[in-house]
Amino acid sequence: MIRGAGRGSLGHLLFQLLCPPDPFGPGKHRHMRCLPRSENAAPQGIRGSENGAVRACVFCGSTSGKSTLEHAIPKWARRAFGIQGELTVEASKGPMSEREDVGRLKHLNIVLRNAICGPCNYGWLASVEKVAAPVLTPMAVTAQPAVLDAEAQAMLAFWAVKTVLLLQLAFRQMYGKRRELTGYDPTTQELAWLWAKREPPPRSLVWLGCWDSHQASEACRVNFEPSEAPLPTADGVPVAGYMTTFALGFVAFQVFTVDYLEAEQHGAEMWNTRVPRHLDEALIRIWPALGRAISWPPQAFAYGDWRQMVTWDGRLRPAGNTS
């Protein structure tokens, strides 16, 4: 049985690049669309920061030293795609709703401020990017084939979960007063687990796929779309996880995250541990690992099949459900 997702996917951000050179082919512009969570409150570790001091690092909890700027889309990725122009930021209540211009963003600089201490940012986070960049760059930019052993799969899964959670925090901080934008609020325990264990938190699931982002002349090079994924519980108390589809060029990640302590407290069932059988060749689970090396790219999703990938061909979200 496939458990559904989608009722929480109400907000919509469209990042549209204005007049940059396109090294990948003809086209007037490229754009990035996202559906993050944003509410009035900033994440707990970010509130109350003054004079550059961190109230509490969202990862290790440290309150010493100066705060840092964390780029949720790392520098190596921005350089690899040559994104140099200004982006128009538009928001709407859903994919079919009218969009509203909410601001500008330069060079895809999605920045999380006053939330991460120096030792975390310049230490283990930098180390993750140093390992991930040489693996992901050729895959994301040119779809260069790769054979990924168990260690490489674990590294990519860790990178994907870390990046998705940081994007959620950054979007909440940047657009926190727009109540129509919804998404996942990473919990303290999930972020602390990443810091302490250097692996995705319990109950996390990660799939790896390939999305043909060059099939259209105005291809989206980076896409980010989370959907609520509720879990049935033993005591009937709702527990909501999130299933996020994050595409970086040709590389597509799908990440399921949930407050694992809340899930255990209420006896929540496990979410989907495998995709529908007919998508087995397109989405490969890399966390928890399958225990074997995998070849990438698998069968690619066409550029126009973004909805098919996000909804698992309608199994997660019926075709008529845009929420």
What single string gives the DSSP state of each residue in 6-43? -TT---EEEEEEES---TTS--S--EEEE-----SSPP
- Using CA atoms of 161, 167, 173, 176 in order, give the dihedral in degrees to the nearest 10: -100
Q: Is the pLDDT of residue 65 over 70?
A: yes
Q: Is the pLDDT of residue 34 over 50?
A: no
The answer as to whether 132 is a domain residue is no
The answer as to whether 318 is a domain residue is no
The answer as to whether 67 is a domain residue is no
Peptide bond into 288 cis (omega under 30): yes
Quote the DSSP letter at residue 47.
Answer: T
Residue where the block lists tokens 């030293």: 65
The answer as to whether 59 is a domain residue is no
CA-to-CA distance for 99 and 35, rounded, in angstroms? 13
* Beta strand 100-106 pairing with 86-92: antiparallel
The answer as to whether 231 is a domain residue is yes
Average pLDDT over residues 21-33: 34
- Of the segments 15-24, 33-42, 90-99, which one has the largest average pLDDT value? 90-99
- Which residue range forms the structural domain that includes residue 26? 12-38+77-109+139-184+197-310
Q: Is the pLDDT of residue 69 over 60?
A: yes
Identify the band that residue 266 occupies on the pLDDT scale cut at 50, 70 and 90: very high
Give the pair of three-digit tokens for residue 250.
């040709």
The answer as to whether 163 is a domain residue is yes
Give the pair of three-digit tokens for residue 110.
């999605």
Residue count of the chain: 323
At residue 242, what is the residue type? Y
At residue 304, what is the residue type? G
The answer as to whether 4 is a domain residue is no
At residue 257, what is the residue type? T
Identify the band that residue 182 occupies on the pLDDT scale cut at 50, 70 and 90: low
Contacts of 131 (CB under 8 A, 6+ apart): 155
CA-to-CA distance for 79 and 287, rounded, in angstroms? 28
Closest to 30 (Cα-Cα) out of 79, 96, 87, 99:
87
Residue-averaged pLDDT of the chain: 78
CA-to-CA distance for 72 and 114, rounded, in angstroms? 13
CA-to-CA distance for 134 and 218, rounded, in angstroms? 26
CA-to-CA distance for 282 and 255, rounded, in angstroms? 15
Asked if 202 contacts 260 with a C-beta cutoff of 8 angstroms, the reply is: yes
CA-to-CA distance for 206 and 160, rounded, in angstroms? 8
At residue 49, what is the residue type? S
Identify the band that residue 214 occupies on the pLDDT scale cut at 50, 70 and 90: confident
β-strand partners of 59: none
Task: Count up the domains in the chain and report the number.
Answer: 1
Give the pair of three-digit tokens for residue 215.
């099939």
Q: Phi and psi (nearest 5°) for 97?
A: -90, 160
The answer as to whether 302 is a domain residue is yes
Q: What is the pTM of this model?
A: 0.82
